[in-house]
Amino acid sequence: MSYLETARRDAEKLLGRKNVRILAIESSCDETAAAVVEDGRRVLSNCVYSQIDLHSLYGGVVPEIASRAHVEKISPIVRAALEEAGLGFSQIDAVAVTCGPGLVGALLVGVSYAKGLAAALGKPLIAVNHIEGHICANYLSFPLLEPPYLCLVVSGGHSHLLMVEEGDTYRLIGCTQDDAAGEAFDKAARVLGLPYPGGPKLDLAAGSGNDRAFPLPRPHTDRPYDYSFSGLKTAFINLTHGMAQRGESLPVNDLAASFRRAVVDQLADKCMMAAEDLGQRRLALAGGVSANRLLRERMMEACAGRGMELYMPELKYTGDNAAMIGAAAFRRLRHLQLAGLDLNADPSLRLV
């Protein structure tokens, strides 16, 4: 019997069982992460090695450095995740890994490791889309949440508005026409001289700034639920460069607050408009930018005002982690969607 046939037979048996434990691996960008998740909801361990210190010198992620660091850390991180869960390799029921989108060299480290492990243990292998992982972080924080719901996914590489449908399929409602929200935050932070990764630092600086100090443009998009951040980014760069050229010192907090408000206005307004038009009463956030304090506040207010349910992952699950990959993998397992040992990394893998 081939590996895939055996894996399928084992996966079918798992469907009728409780306490299914998935060892999940994430290495799509600058975090090497491993976790053990039970039944797609309970996090038995969640270990993350962040490479921020390695990349901060360069002001952004250097792909070669990321790949090398993943190679060094993946084995210790997997062992740490098993140890924290109090389990040995033999007590794991399946192995899951992010196969895209992301940096190809970084993804390949996780994919190769997971394939080797699944083959050696003779366990099913589950390939997970990183974006789906971010969405599924909500299942860890909200044990009773099930589709359908509308989800705003905002990360360093993606800004999508999606319908999460029953059966764990996805329907695209809107997406960015240019930059991702996180990318825009990071760029604006860089212009303000804030160190990488800039998004969280800009968020912090904005907390003590006047968000009406500088008027910034709100974009027009042809499709009503699409986003666009590049015009805003350019306006912000021109504003700050103009001040620097005139020898003025940058009012960092006011600039950060004005920029944050412009991004959050757009994210929140379009998302609420879509929810209303589609008649959706349940809304979820996902991705690194869902940690943004103003975005969380704004969505809470907007949903409370309309009597809508709002789901936001706990902060520990907003950024890249492997627990969210375990949550997504469990849902793929339930649909018996398994990967073979020919699984490859796909840097531009799409969800929809």
Tell me which residues touch ligand KG4 (CB under 6 A): 29, 134, 155-157, 182, 185-186, 197-200, 203, 287-289, 291-292, 319-320
Q: Residue 127 and residue 334: Cα distance in Å, rounded? A: 13
Q: Could you give the string, one character per residue 141-170, with x where binding to Zn ion holds by CB under 5 A and - elsewhere?
A: --------------x---------------
Please say which residue, 253 or 338, places its beta carbon nearer to ligand KG4. Answer: 253
Handedness of CA 333, 337, 343, 347 (dihedral sign): negative
Cα–Cα distance between 220 and 45 in angstroms, integer?
Answer: 44
291, interface contact from ligand KG4, Zn ion, none, CB < 5-8 Å by kind: ligand KG4
Residue 116 contacts by C-beta under 8 Å, 6 or more apart in sequence? none
Size of residue set near Zn ion by CB under 5 A: 2
User: What's the closest the beta carbon of residue 290 comes to Zn ion, in angstroms?
Assistant: 10
Beta carbon of residue 352, minimum distance to ligand KG4 (angstroms, whole number): 16
Task: Rank residues 156 and 209 by Cβ distance to Zn ion and give the closer one.
Answer: 156
Angle at which helix 323-334 crosses helix 3-15, to 10 degrees, equals 90
Separation of alpha carbons 54 and 81, rounded Å: 22
**Shortest approach of Zn ion to residue 155 CB, angstroms?**
4
The CB-of-228 to ligand KG4 minimum distance in angstroms stands at 17
The distance of closest approach from Cβ of residue 102 to Zn ion in the complex, given in angstroms and rounded to an integer, is 8
Tokens 């039944």 — which residue? 39
Q: Is the distance from CB of 297 to CB of 248 less than 8 angstroms?
A: no
Residues 6 or more apart whose CB falls under 8 angstroms from that of 242 comprise none
Q: Which member of 202, 320, 324, 326 binds Zn ion (CB under 5 A)?
A: 320
Closer Cβ to ligand KG4, 93 or 211, answer by number: 211
Residue in this structure with the two tokens 């992010």, named with its chain if needed: 98
- The answer for residues whose C-beta is within 8 angstroms of residue 120's C-beta and 6 or more apart is none
The CA distance from 101 to 351, in Å, is 9
- Least distance (Å) between residue 18 CB and ligand KG4: 31
**Does residue 30 interact with Zn ion by CB under 5 A?**
no
Q: Which is nearer to Zn ion, 155 or 280 (CB)?
A: 155
Residues that bind Zn ion (CB under 5 A): 155, 320
